[in-house]
Amino acid sequence: MNPLTYFRNWLSLVGLTVMIGSLFAFLLLFAFDLTTSGSNPYVGLLTYIVAPLFLSFGSILAIGGWFWDRARRKDSASTLHFDLSRLRDRRIFFVFVGGAITFMFATSIGSYQTYTYSNSNHFCGTLCHSVMEPQFVAYPNSGHAKLKCIDCHIGEGTSGTIKAKWHGLYKVYSLLLDKYPTPLAAAPNYLPTTEESCLKCHENGPDLKDVARTYHHYLSDDDNTPFSVSLRLKLGPDETTAAKTSGIHWHAKPENRVEFTETKENPNVIPWIRYKSPDGLTTEYHFTPDEETEDLPDLTEVGPTHTMDCLDCHSRPAHDFAKPNDIVEAFLRSNSETAPALPELKYIIAKAVDQEFESQSQVMESIAKELEKEYSEQEIKTQKTITHFKEVFGRSVFPEMKADWRTFPNHIGHKDTLGCFRCHDDKHSTADGSKTLSAKNCNTCHDVISQGVPGQMEFANSPDTEFEHPDGSYLGFTCAECHTGALQLE
């Protein structure tokens, strides 16, 4: 007897239908993957994992039906057959054919819709990467909110696609077995280079035009006194002064190669820096800490050598977690009439959230407790102020994933994090001591335009005008030695 006749049973026919449908889905997804290479790594997971799984399932059904039918019939010649002249057989046949066609149609539509959904931000931020909730919640408030996740997180070309697919498999494994770390850090080996991500849109490279920025702050006093400072940020070279400057974006120009290493215990500590100039000259700087420095990490335990790029300063381009002080200052700007009724609001809020919490509900309880303790019901306008800060901090503090402004600092500038002072700290010098990366040349990067409190605004009368700290002299300190974005260190 022909062995193929043992496939003539309902179980094997269903299995063969599933096999044909999954094969069709594989070919369709393979076409998507071939024509959109590098744009979506998840279509690769669907193509090379999900579709083959369904193909295997159909094969098991078909082969199982073959053995079942063989054992049932033994040596009998009885087999499944249709007599289309009989009404019952015609109905069964057309129902089966209609079901098979419907299954094929649903497979094609489902494959396309699954591909489309896997290409969405919602898929990346909630379904596939549920642990990415902090980044997903912070993302809509960024300057890159119109971009898709894959626009920045997937490299160009075949190598970028393969890296993303391989790392995607590991993500599935770590998510299912609860093996992911907290806080969840991006794996640098799988991230695309800035040429593959940033420069796709910023194709002209770093902006070299100077810009003016005004920073509005509020002091932590009884009146929440406003304090503003306007600066000219020197993004590009300045040839108009005797002391010519290269500008902030000098670091990102391709002809200037800056390499460095970070300590494994604390990436803010940089033991070694090497600069290779366009003419091929190389200068190395080594970190020499002060004798009284505390909690210094092991300077011999360092990560791989890294070439400086955009993300070393623009460290939170799309997932910035707002700092408590910035949140309060934004509230005061929008509710200026409320400021006098809520003395020392920055300090009160900072004290409420600058703690170690186990859940977001504890953060919300702490906010309500501190506000109700410090202010009367009329001062906080019952629940309006409390509700506002609960909502805002619900988008910026995630204790379960240990994600907030402290674990994911933004290194733009140097007010609340070391930022620029990771290198420019007067502690990185050449071996012979002839060159030092200074922390004192403030006017190299920016000039003061105006500064002060309302009614006492002072305007600069020369490019050398120094910044006047509202609480006394700041000389001899880096900003982050006192400022943390929340509670101020003493």
- Residue 85 reports pLDDT greater than 70: yes
Note the pLDDT of residue 116. Answer: 65
Coil/strand/helix, residue 9: coil
Segment 281-303, tens digit of pLDDT? 999 999 999 887 778 899 999 99
Environment class of 336 (CB within 10 Å of its CB; exposed 0-12, middle 13-18, buried 19+): exposed
What CA–CA distance (Å, rounded) separates 387 from 347?
18
- Residue 407 reports pLDDT greater than 80: yes
Model confidence, pTM: 0.76
Note the pLDDT of residue 41. Answer: 53
Residue 417 · residue 407 · CB < 8 Å: no
Residue 9's pLDDT band (cuts 50, 70, 90): confident
What CA–CA distance (Å, rounded) separates 318 from 316?
6
Segment 197-217, tens digit of pLDDT? 888 888 887 888 889 999 999
From residue 57, alpha-carbon distances to 3, 8, 41, 81 in Å are 21, 18, 24, 25
Q: What is the mean pLDDT of residues 244-269?
A: 89
Segment 329-367, tens digit of pLDDT? 999 998 877 777 888 999 999 999 999 999 999 999 999
Residue 245 · residue 444 · CB < 8 Å: yes
DSSP symbol at 388: H
289 or 86: whose pLDDT is higher?
A: 289
- Residue 35 reports pLDDT greater than 60: yes
Q: Are strands 211-218 and 226-233 parallel, antiparallel or unpaired?
A: antiparallel
Q: What is the mean pLDDT of residues 383-387?
A: 82
Residue 228's pLDDT band (cuts 50, 70, 90): very high
Angle, CA of 340, 344 and 348, to the nearest 5°: 130
Spatial CB neighbours of 110, under 8 Å, sequence gap ≥ 6: 25
Q: What is the mean pLDDT of residues 169-178?
A: 77
- Residue 314 reports pLDDT greater than 90: yes
- Residue 140 reports pLDDT greater than 70: yes
- Residue 405 reports pLDDT greater than 80: yes
Residue 273: count of CB within 10 angstroms of its CB: 20
Question: What percent of the chain stands above pLDDT 70?
Answer: 82
Q: What is the mean pLDDT of residues 407-425?
A: 92
What CA–CA distance (Å, rounded) separates 466 from 458?
11
Q: What is the mean pLDDT of residues 316-320?
A: 91
- Residue 112 reports pLDDT greater than 80: no
What CA–CA distance (Å, rounded) separates 413 from 251?
14
Note the pLDDT of residue 341. Answer: 80
From residue 220, alpha-carbon distances to 110, 322, 339, 345, 404 in Å are 57, 18, 11, 7, 22
Note the pLDDT of residue 288. Answer: 93
Secondary structure, 3-state, 77-139: CCCCCCCCCCHHHHHHHHHHHHHHHHHHHHHHHHHHHHHHHHCCHHHHHHHCCHHHHHHHHHH
Domains of the chain, residue spans: 3-119, 123-201, 324-401
Residue 127's pLDDT band (cuts 50, 70, 90): low
What CA–CA distance (Å, rounded) separates 326 from 346?
9
Note the pLDDT of residue 403. Answer: 93
Note the pLDDT of residue 38. Answer: 47
Residue 133's pLDDT band (cuts 50, 70, 90): confident
Q: What is the mean pLDDT of residues 175-201?
A: 81
Segment 430-439, tens digit of pLDDT? 999 999 998 8
From residue 236, alpha-carbon distances to 253, 309, 395 in Å are 10, 16, 35
50 or 300: whose pLDDT is higher?
A: 300
Q: Tell me the average pLDDT of the chain.
A: 82
What CA–CA distance (Å, rounded) separates 480 from 417?
5
